[in-house]
Amino acid sequence: FHEHIFLEKHLKDFPKEGPIRHFMELVICGLSKNPYLSVKQKIEHIEWFRNYFDEKEEFLQEM
């Protein structure tokens, strides 16, 4: 049960502060409240965002 709610441990690879961190905290909050997704699906969502931000890192730093 706790794996469905406490997803903060999956934020360790994200920046410690800034807009990406804030966005991911909101994503984690939303996922933790979603009873319709499995733990595996929730982790896949987080990994998708991690991959997305890794791919867009150069573009995001230019902004």
Mean pLDDT of 16-20: 89
Closest CA to 28 of 61, 14, 18, 1: 14
Q: What percent of the chain has pLDDT over 70?
A: 97
Query: In terms of residue numbers, what domain contains 33?
Result: 2-62
Q: How many domains are contained in the chain? A: 1
Tally the residues of the chain.
Answer: 63
Q: What is the mean pLDDT of residues 20-35?
A: 92
Burial category of 42 from C-beta neighbours within 10 Å (exposed 0-12, middle 13-18, buried 19 and up): buried
Whole-model pTM above 0.75?
Answer: yes
Q: Which two tokens stand for residue 25?
A: 């905290």
